[in-house]
Homo-oligomer: A and B are copies of this chain.
Amino acid sequence: MKNRMKKRSKKSGLPPGSLILIGEPPSGHVRVTALDYDETTCIEKRNPDFDTCLQMRATEAVTWIHVEGLQVEVVKRISEAFDLHPLVQEDILNTDQRPKMEDFGGYLFIVLKMFRPEGGGTEPSSEQVSILVGPRSVLSFCERETTAFDALRERIKAGAGRIRKLGPDYLAYSIMDTVVDGYFVVLEATGEAVETLEEKLVLDPQIDVLRAVYKQKHDLIFLRRSVWPLREVVSALARTESHLVQEPTKVYFRDIYDHTIQVIDIVETFRDMTSGMLDMYLSSVSNRMNEIMKVLTIMSSLFIPLTFIVGLYGMNFQFMPELKWRFGYPFALGIMALTAGGLLLFFRRKKWI
């Protein structure tokens, strides 16, 4: 987060609307996919040029232009083809936006965060997804190449389900649904990590586990910062009065809303659980320490009086009658055994051992 923030300051001092990429440097790979579909036909174009975009925009069919990988030039060209406000262009490139939805009258501008578990690990990697919903078109921008939307594209091309019959609002819903579904995958990984940590805490409370708990907590704070505003975004879409969202589609946005609430519930539960973990760690550690301390107490308390007695009969006084007794030694041993036995009894009565 800090890295991201540092880049943010690059813009400091520049006039608003300056197009500067904030976030990871462009990998060079930009993949643009354009789909133009209605109930009967579906045309796909890879990396279309400016004119193709304009043509597609002009048709009655729903146009979906999907950009993976952000480059200032590409964003600028497409934005111009669709008359986007300078601030929108800026926000697409500033990939540290908070999830939000803005109604620009002619189009809706939606910003989301997509999460995916990087390399099977539990550390969620986040990237920004910007969606623009126009009257007959949807633009979507991701930070990096991803296979997340391939299934959706295939579904459109196959003409399965309702999607070909419905408008760009349903398409936008489908994209958002895909993104939110990804949250559950990340949360599963988190859930497993939390479970593992919990077991480790009880069995072997090491400082490393605690550090892992803190990392998990940081990740959850990060996830939470994305999910709470998402809730507002989806809620706004489900209640919007914009003509761009049809009444029947709102049921679907309400459905995503339910999912988002579920995600929030789970995130909050994990937060509660990780908070409890710190206390559990401290209890476990102090419990272990107590056990160790108890052994020390008992050993010390047992031997300290005995050591005193042996010291006593190690004194060099000339006149110590016990030293000359025939059974002085067994007598001393007996006293010591009695002392030790008495102490052990005392400790047992006190339930210390």
Contacts and interface: CB of A to CB of B under 8 A. Distances in A.
Interface string A174-212: 100110011011011001100100000010000100110
B319 A316 contact: no
A184 B98 CA distance: 15
Given A5-B188, A12-B182, A280-B214, A308 B307 contact: yes
Nearest to A148: B13
B332 A100 contact: no
Report the copy number of this chain in the oligomer: 5
A44 B98 CA distance: 39
Interface in A264-284: 265-266, 269, 272-273, 276, 278-284
A295 B297 contact: yes
Contacts of A240: none
Contacts of A225: 265, 269
Interface string A102-138: 1010000000000000000000000000000000000
Interface in A1-36: 1-2, 5-6, 8-9, 11-13, 15-17
Interface residues of A, number: 112
Contacts of A350: 291
A182 B352 CA distance: 44
A300 B296 contact: yes
Contacts of A329: 315, 317, 319-320
A289 B290 contact: yes
Interface stretch (A46-54, A75-83, A255-263): A255-263
Contacts of A97: 258, 262
A184 B323 CA distance: 77
Contact of A276 (B217, B286, B332): B217
A323 B312 contact: no
Contact of A300 (B188, B191, B217, B300): B300
Nearest to A273: B218
A182 B11 CA distance: 10
B301 A299 contact: yes
A332 B307 contact: no
B16 A255 contact: yes
Nearest to A324: B318
Contacts of A184: 5, 8-9, 12
Nearest to A262: B98
Contacts of A254: 102
* Interface-central residue, A160, A202, A210, A319, by most chain B CB under 10 Å: A319
A285 interface: yes
Contact of A283 (B87, B174, B273, B282): B282
Contacts of A210: 280, 283
Given A102-B254, A300-B301, A311-B311, 18 more contacts: A2-B188, A2-B195, A8-B184, A9-B185, A98-B265, A100-B258, A214-B276, A289-B293, A295-B297, A296-B300, A296-B301, A299-B304, A303-B307, A304-B304, A310-B311, A316-B316, A317-B323, A319-B325
5 contacts: A98-B258, A304-B304, A307-B311, A316-B320, A319-B328
